[in-house]
Chains A and B, each alone.
Chain A
Amino acid sequence: MIAVAALQILDGLGLVPIAFVNWRPTLYAFLLWSVALGVGQVLQYGEVGKQRLFVLPALLFTAAMVIFPTLFGLNIAFTDWNLNAQSGHHFNGLDNLRTLWGDAYFWNALGNMAFYVATVLVQYAIAFGLAMLLNADIRGRKFFRVAFLLPFMLSPVAVSWMIGKSLMENRFGPLANFARWLGWENPAFFTDPWIARTTIIAMDAWVWIPFMVILLLAGLQALPTDIKEAAKVDGASSWQAFWEITFPLMLPVSLTAIVLRTIFELKLADIVINVTAGGPGGATDTVSSFVFREYRDRSNVGYATMVAEVYLIIIVVFITLLLRATSRYMQKMT
């Protein structure tokens, strides 16, 4: 009861500060309100309230941060807003969707994304292998672990320039020279569409594989030792042991690694923008870098926001399906 009263008052306060210099007081009011809500939960619901207290802070924080941008975004997604237009922005219904339907750049980029996302499985396989190696009984484990982690620490801008634009440079890049030594006469990494796509994804994978390795390694370490023992006593070959015991047990962690990696893959933009600008002829373009061009280079914020929202829906559907499929698979396995 007390909590509800406090809630009311503070909520009221949240509406008052329009008169203040800025909306900062609202922020403080929200903080207080959140605390009050937490206390109220415990007082009102007891044990259940205490349980809720675990998840409430994160929920309230996320909600507070995204509610305005989400509403604002949805609002401008249905307008013709171009920052350079003198007449400001107007509601234009489904026009943006119609434009999107006929936008060859979007569909081309989406097609490329299908390839990029498909390679996540390869990346996962490599990462799993590396995690197994690191988990093996080896000397210099500490060195290898830190060394494997390093690529993830390099910033995308540095990756684009130091790798894409100098290591792979056709004339002087050491990697190009290496390719020449291997017998590739004229190593042009970004001229043939498929080679360009593969090169881009290789660079991105180089950065992100360590991310998956960490997650998978933590998972491997968490496996109960007695399970590994059981496999050995049964006399199962290590290959069989892996498929029948380790792999199924690693499924939840693997799923997290794949989902997180897929989401980051879907947002791939920096490297593409810097290294190929989507070329040659759109072969490496991604949806994110297309949105980037529309939103920033062309100030076409209404349309770009709509593209992003549609992309969001596509991804949400895709990931939901992915999760469903894997949970069914997991039930079968266990």
Chain B
Amino acid sequence: MRVHVYEQLMATQASRRRVMKGTASAVAGLVAGVPATLSPSPSFAADSVVAQIMKIPGAGNGSPTDADWQKVGELCLGPTKKYVQPGEFKGINFSFMGLNNQNLHNFLFRGFLKPWEAYTGTLIKWIDLAQADYNARLQQSIATGTADFDIIEMGAPFEGDMGVKNLLSEMPDWVKKQVDFDDIVDYLKPPVGTWNGKIHRVTIDSDCHTMNRRTDVFTDPGLAKQWADWKDKAGLGTWGPPKTWQQVQQITKFLKGKKVKGKEVYGFLDQPKPWGGFQFYFTASRASSYAKYPGEKNWMFDENMKPLVNNPAWVRAIQDVIDALPYEPADQINADPGTTAFQQFLPGTGSLLEWWGDIGTMAKTSDTATIGDVLDFDILPASDDVYNFRKEKWETLPNGPNVAPNMAYLGWGIYVMKTVDSDPKRHKAAWSAAAHLGGKDLSMWTAAYPSGFQPYRKSHTNLDLWALAGYDKKYIGSYMDSQSTSYNHPNSAIEPRIPGIFQYYSIAEDELQKTFAGKQSAQQGADNVAAAWEKLTNKLGRENQIKYYRIAMGLA
């Protein structure tokens, strides 16, 4: 669809948008304190592309539609036009494999790339996968040689699987320039996105777990009074949001049976039920500040792939879940991460949730959410002490509690398959498509609107741009603060991108589920996970796995 057609379509809604804009700027004027860690908002040119796209469709105009995606794609073609002549790739067609997650992801890409296809003359064939099939389909098509896609949307944890089989094309320098590679947050720079020194990934997303909190619960005067009488405060003198896991545990116990405005409240929400490997991230996030010692990259394995998952730090995290479960909602044992986020937290159950950044944008854009106005964000809780696995003892650090945000999954990226390398024209076409999706302006839009993707650039901290999309600056300031503090944290916990990493997670989930259900002790469960991991490492080839582990973790 062309821009002018779109303009006509949207003309009817223009007046509504103007009203919204007025409100947004009024709110912006009222809000004073922007968190200190953020760079002072650089101004933007009112007629810049990014300023234009941030108003599509604008707050209060419902979820963006196909027409919106195409318009955004059209407006963001600038960088492509710099490197590619009109119709340069005429006659080229290739296939693009990605997720169909609630008709986002691949459907978004379709919209974004439609104007690109029209400009370059390329034809793209789309392969959509449900997320549940993604891992299996990827592994099986690699194994049977039925991998017939040229571009793939893939999470960083799979880089090992693809890397060791040498299936990925290396990013050309012009793409690096086109996507403004330096603007990407530091933790997503090499070694993440690379394998053996070669850059493969056009980043379109970032992932980390943060703590989502209910402000109404943590400012409730009634609860504050009762908290004063609570015995073990774990260092939280006056009622407020927790800073450490020790406090999270106490708050969860404290809140059981309490009411706020006549409604039952709960504290922290755990996710004990397996979720195709993804549940393990949540246990890992509970463990990271216990297990990730500052200055040490290893926290799931040591540098020789010996599992650390059964050391006292991890066992304490597992025990925390067991201890907290009785104080969480009924049937919590059957809650997976999806349940806690979309069936519990967003509709209003529970007051603390570790999750990916989706919560922050969905609380404002999804109509499932009832808590958009009482939500703020923080980095994952710290721990009073941290386990030093080299000295095998708990330590209290001189500079206070240990913080180690878990960068769970490391975000989605666009990867080009090596099969295009033999034909320079195809090679350029595929990389151009990938670069278009990883464009700087476009990314600002996907960060702010429902897309399935999180902010991943330093420039995303420009709160004025968020305000254009109708966000309240105080809200989004808290959100971006939690995100960027995690991204830039010197002690952030990065997972090993070794081949088969999801097998490790999947086995761990099975054992943890048994543990959480009370079938075995935390130590026993952790030992079983460690034993299963050792067995798996042997099966996959210990020497290789150790070598890949070091490559993946950047241990050289």
User: Which residues of chain A have a CB within 8 Å of any CB of chain B?
Assistant: 80, 82-87, 105, 165, 169-171, 186-191, 196, 275-283, 293, 295-300
- In this complex, the interface size class of chain B, counting residues with CB under 8 Å from chain A, is 35 or more
Residues of B in contact with A (beta carbons under 8 Å apart): 135-136, 139-140, 142-143, 161, 164, 272-277, 329-331, 333-334, 336, 339, 343-344, 349, 499-500, 502-503, 506-507, 510, 513-514, 516-519, 539-541, 544
Name which residue of chain A comes closest to B544, CB basis: A86
Given the complex of chains A and B, what is the CA–CA distance between A295 and B140 in angstroms?
A: 10
Cα-based distance from A59 to B513 in the complex (angstroms)? 45
Are B164 and A86 within 8 A (Cβ)? yes
Query: B60 to chain A: closest CB distance in Å?
Result: 27
Given known A-B contacts A84-B540, A282-B513, A277 and B273 have beta carbons under 8 A apart: yes
CB <8 Å contact, B333 and A190: yes
Tell me the bound Cα distance from A56 to B543 in angstroms: 54
Is B336's CB under 8 angstroms from A277's CB? yes
Contact A188 B506 (CB under 8 A): no
A–B pairs, 21, beta carbons within 8 Å:
A82-B539, A82-B540, A83-B143, A86-B164, A86-B499, A87-B541, A170-B330, A188-B334, A275-B334, A276-B334, A278-B510, A280-B333, A281-B514, A281-B518, A282-B519, A283-B517, A293-B510, A296-B136, A297-B277, A298-B506, A299-B503
A306 to chain B, nearest CB (A): 14
The answer to whether A279 touches B143 (Cβ under 8 A) is no
A80 CA to B540 CA, complexed, in Å: 10
Query: A244 vs B360: C-alpha distance in the bound complex, in angstroms?
Result: 68
Q: Which residue of B lies closest to A89 (CB)?
A: B143
A179 → chain B, closest Cβ, in Å?
12
Shortest C-beta distance, A211 to chain B (Å), equals 25
CB-CB under 8 A from B272, the residues of chain A are 279
Q: Kindly report which residue of chain A lies nearest to residue B334, judged by CB atoms.
A: A190
CA separation between A155 and B539, bound complex, in Å? 37
Q: Which residues on B sit within 8 Å (CB–CB) of A281? A: 513-514, 516-519
Contacts of A188 in B (CB 8 A): 330-331, 334
- The list of the 3 closest CB pairs from A to B, nearest first, reads A281-B517, A84-B500, A296-B136
Output the least CB separation between A221 and chain B (Å): 41
A84–B499 CB distance below 8 A: yes
Q: Given that A276-B273, A281-B513 are contacting pairs, would A186 and B330 also be in contact in the complex, using a CB cutoff of 8 Å? A: yes
Across-interface contacts of A186 in B (CB, < 8 A): 330
User: In the complex, A169→B502 CA distance in Å?
Assistant: 29
Q: Does the CB pair A293–B506 fall under 8 Å?
A: yes
Complex: A328 Cα to B76 Cα, angstroms = 76
Closest A residue to B140 by CB, please name it: A83
CA distance A44 to B119 in the complex (A): 67
Cβ contact within 8 Å between A298 and B336:
no
Across the two chains, which residue of chain B brings its CB closest to A281?
B517
A85 near B540: Cβ-Cβ < 8 Å? yes
A188-B335 Cα distance, complex, nearest whole Å: 11
Set of chain A residues within 8 Å of B275, measured between Cβ atoms: 277
CB neighbours (8 Å) of A283 from chain B are 517
> In the complex, A206→B510 CA distance in Å?
28
Q: How far is the CB of B286 from chain A (nearest CB, A)?
A: 19
Which of A169, A280, A297, A298 is in CB contact (< 8 Å) with B517? A280
B340 CB to closest chain A CB (Å) equals: 12
Name 14 extra pairs, CB < 8 A, besides A190-B333, A191-B330, A277-B273. Answer: A80-B539, A83-B139, A84-B540, A105-B510, A165-B339, A186-B330, A188-B330, A190-B331, A191-B334, A280-B517, A281-B517, A282-B517, A299-B503, A300-B503
B68 → chain A closest CB, angstroms: 28
| Bound Cα distance from A301 to B81, whole angstroms | 47
Give A300 Cβ to nearest chain B Cβ, in Å: 7
What is the bound-complex CA distance between A134 and B539, given in angstroms? 57
The complex places the Cα of A187 from the Cα of B330 at a distance, in Å, of: 8
**Residues from chain B with Cβ under 8 Å of A187 in the complex:** 330
A280 touches B334 (CB 8 A): yes
Contacts A170-B330, A190-B331: A82 and B506 contacting too (C-beta < 8 A)? no
**Given the contacts A84-B500, A86-B499, A279-B517, A299 and B136 also touching, CB distance less than 8 Å:** yes
